[in-house]
Structure formats: C-alpha cells, structure tokens
Amino acid sequence: MNAFVFIEIDDDVISTSICQKISASDSSKLAENKLVIEGIWTVINDNEESFKSKVNQLHFDTPDIIIADWERARRELDGKNASVFHRFRSFLMTLLPSLCILFLLFVKSIRTNIIYRISVVFYLSYLFPFILISHQMRYQRPLFLIQIVLIYLMFIWMVERFDKKGRLKGLFVG
C-alpha cells in the first residue's frame, strides 16, 4: 500500500563518530556484529528495546556512549522522515500518480488511450513484486517517466475541461 500512498525515506545512511570515543574492543564488537559497518549504523531501523538488548548481550565497555549515539542517529533519521522535502517527494512519487490512475479510470477518452493503458500496466506490474517483499523509494525511481506521463495525462484532461472563457465544462464528459 505504501507504494501508492506514502514511502518511507530511503536515505537512511546515518554515520557514527563514536569509534574514536570508545575502546578498540567496543569498536570491533560493533563491526563483528554488524551494528556499524564502515562508520555507518546498520541497525538504525531497529526499535529501541531490540537495540538495547543487543548492546546488553554484547557486554560493551561503554554501552551508554553507544546507545546515546544510536539515539542521536534515530532522531536524525526521524527528522529526515518528517522533513517537508521528503513528504513532498513522497507525494509526487506515490499519491499523485495513484490519484491520476484512479481518477483517469473514470474518463473514457483517457481510459481507452493506449499510452494510459500501457503506462498503468507497466506501473502496476513493475511495483507488484516489490510490494510483496518490501517497498522503498529506490524501487520506484525507475517509474519516474511513467509517473510524468500519468500526471501529464491528468493535466491535459483538466485543461480540456475549461472552455475558452475559463468556465468549467462537465467533469467526466469525453
């Protein structure tokens, strides 16, 4: 459903600088257990309880520093998710094309248009396998041109709804 309404951010690469602040054994434990790879948190999407449990099981020398940096990284990721830019990008890549597909189904002249049909079939067949597994923004980027076609068809249809005096004609006529 998120492929058609809202997509979580895929820019979830959050770096850590604690490797210089903690002991060498703690740094190696982070790397060995794949919590941090090349200075990047890999467990940034874990919930807090799960992460703290992992930290406690690994018996770090400085668990407070590690947990504090992970919490900082989580706040940074949450800030990215809540940003206006991300919400706008998500709207453009998910909800707007979905609304165009749905709305244009009710317009006979567009619904019978071969470009519309091919675009919708390709759009849905491309997204379907990703939706079954897990969907992220990077899977939807190749659909950008099809999204433009769908939005263009919607825009053209909307422009055609007005007569030369700027008055609205019937919505679902022709």
Per-residue model confidence as pLDDT tens digits over 50-109: 889 999 999 989 899 999 999 998 888 888 878 888 888 878 878 888 888 888 888 888
Phi-psi region of 60 (alpha: psi -120 to 50; beta: other; left: phi over 0): beta
Q: Given pLDDT bands bounded at 50, 70 and 90, which one contains residue 9?
A: low
Q: Within 10 A of 80 (CB to CB), how many other CB atoms are there?
A: 15
Report the alpha-carbon distance of residue 172 to residue 110 in Å, rounded.
Answer: 10
Summarize pLDDT for 18-57 with one digit per residue, the tens: 877 888 888 888 889 888 888 888 888 788 898 899 999 9
Residue 7 has φ and ψ, to the nearest 5°, of -120, 135
pLDDT at 124 over 70: yes
Q: What value, to the nearest 5°, has the Cα angle with vertex 114 and ends 108 and 120?
A: 85
Return d(Cα 174, Cα 169) in angstroms, integer. Answer: 11
Place of tokens 């982070």: 30
pLDDT of the residue at 141: 72
| Amino acid making up residue 47 | N
Q: Residue 71 has what pLDDT?
A: 92
| Nearest-10 Cα torsion for 29, 33, 38, 41 | -110
Give the helix/strand (H/E) hosting 148.
helix 144-160
**Interatomic CA distance for residues 18 and 88, integer angstroms:** 33
Separation in Å, CA 60 to CA 24, 31, 43, 52, 54: 11, 12, 16, 11, 10
Residue where the block lists tokens 């248009």: 113
Answer whether 60's CB lies under 8 Å from 66's CB: yes
